Amino acid sequence: MTSDTSINPPAAIPHGKILVTGGSGHLGTNIVRGLLAEGHEVRVLVQSRANNRALEGLDVERVEGDLTDPTSLRRAVEGVARVFHVAAKISTASATPDEVRSLYAINVLGTRDLLRACLDAGVGRVVLTGSFSATGFDLDDPSKASDESIPFYPFGYAMPYAHTKALAEHELLKAVAEGLDAVIATSCGCIGPWDYLPSRMGGTICDYVNGKLRVYIDGGFMWVRAADIVRGHLLAMERGRKGQKYLFATEFMTLEQLFDTVREVAGVEHRLIQLPREPVRKIAALYSGTLARFFPKASQRLTPGSIAVLEMRRHVDYGKAARELGYQPTSLRE
């Protein structure tokens, strides 16, 4: 997989300083690099105690702050023309009360405060990174392709993370009603370079390549190549209609297909063993709840929520992005 971010025609974003929140995360740093490649002046909101290795060596302005600190957000947007709001708390773990409060404080209230700061500062346009988990689906056949017209379904499988990302979209629409020019660029499972933290999927792929992962479960998801979602964000910034939502994806793969692709590209020799779904689901329910209660900071790969998402085998209809923005996905094998 390459780190090329120039697959589609360049997005002619007007020049002026651009703020990227979450710029040290996987998607955020790819967006930062895409902007720098097109000659933009970039400011990044960083947490002082976070892992900011992904920004090392990049010609960016760093502003310390946090989505839970409105004063730092007002400072971050001063003098910027555009904002990519990528930062979010991502979690598929069993939600304890503290976890839910944290998700809400960062993803909902933090987004509200940032958008308010953008309104007050006269920012020209904001692109909010949305999550495919906050897009609705066909209740009778969840695998049927979803588009932007299907509202979020707040019952059933939906994890607290998905709820908070849906609420973040509502915060954006309220800000648009107050006069802010803003667009939603929705991402699926992102795969690609500069994944230093790493992301949950990035870490899983690394574990497979390094021989630490030997099993998997049946299921599939829509994945997006980092270069594709970066281009999607830039196109949304340049061409997106105010208040609109756009879905971006590369292709659907089952976990078996994804790991087979990684095996071919990376030259991995061993294959994974598929575990039976039902026992794994029961073990995950017990294991995830125990970890969340007693070890809240522990990383959880398989949770009841993530298993449910994989079982749904959701697909994306990105026709709106193709028609209105000129979005053209590539391939995960590139």
Query: Which of 14-18, 213-217, 287-291 is the most confident on average?
Result: 213-217
Q: At 129, is the secondary structure helix, strand, or coil?
A: strand
| Helix H or strand E segment including 246 | strand 245-247
111 domain residue, yes or no: yes
Per-residue pLDDT at 6 exceeds 50: no
Residue 58 covered by a domain: yes
Q: Is 280 among the domain residues?
A: no
Predicted confidence band of residue 292 (pLDDT cuts 50, 70, 90): low
Q: Would the pLDDT of 221 be above 70?
A: yes
**For residue 155, is it within any domain?**
yes
Sign of the dihedral defined by the CA atoms of residues 187, 193, 197, 203, in that order: positive
Rounded to whole angstroms, how far apart are CA atoms 100 and 25?
Answer: 21
Q: What is the mean pLDDT of residues 147-174?
A: 93
For the chain, how many structural domains are there in total? 1
At 222, is the secondary structure helix, strand, or coil?
Answer: strand
Task: Please report whether residue 204 resides in a domain.
Answer: no
For a pLDDT cut of 90, what percent of the chain falls above it? 78
In 179-318, alpha helices (H): 200-209, 226-239, 255-266, 277-294, 304-312
Residue 331 has pLDDT above 50, yes or no: yes
More reliable by pLDDT, 295 or 150: 150
Average pLDDT of the chain, as a whole number: 92
Q: How many Cβ atoms sit within 10 Å of the Cβ of residue 200?
A: 17
Greater confidence (158 vs 66) lies with 66
182 inside domain: yes
Give the CA distances from residue 68 to residues 24, 116, 185, in Å, rounded to whole numbers and listed in that order. Answer: 17, 13, 22
CATH code for the domain in which residue 22 is found: 3.40.50.720
Assign 43 to helix, strand or coil: strand
pLDDT at res. 314: 97
For residue 42, give its domain range: 18-194+221-256+314-325
**52-73 residue pLDDT tens:** 999 999 999 999 999 999 999 9
Locate 132 and state its tokens.
Answer: 């495919």
Tracing tokens 């020049």 back to the chain, one arrives at 15
Closest CA to 231 of 1, 43, 3, 61: 3
Please check whether residue 43 lies inside any domain of the structure: yes
Residue 48 domain flag = yes
Residue 95 has pLDDT above 80, yes or no: no
Quote the pLDDT of residue 9: 46
The pLDDT of residue 97 is 86
| Range with the poorest average pLDDT among 153-162, 185-194, 321-330 | 153-162
- What is the pLDDT at residue 15? 76
Q: State in Å, rounded, how far the first CA of the chain is from the last one.
A: 5
pLDDT band at 10 (very low <50, low <70, confident <90, very high): very low
pLDDT reading at 252 higher than 50: yes
The mean per-residue pLDDT over the stretch 196-208 comes to 92
CB 160 within 8 A of CB 99: yes
What angle do helix axes 255-266 and 200-209 make, rounded to 10 degrees?
Answer: 50
Confidence (pTM): 0.92
Average pLDDT over residues 248-275: 95
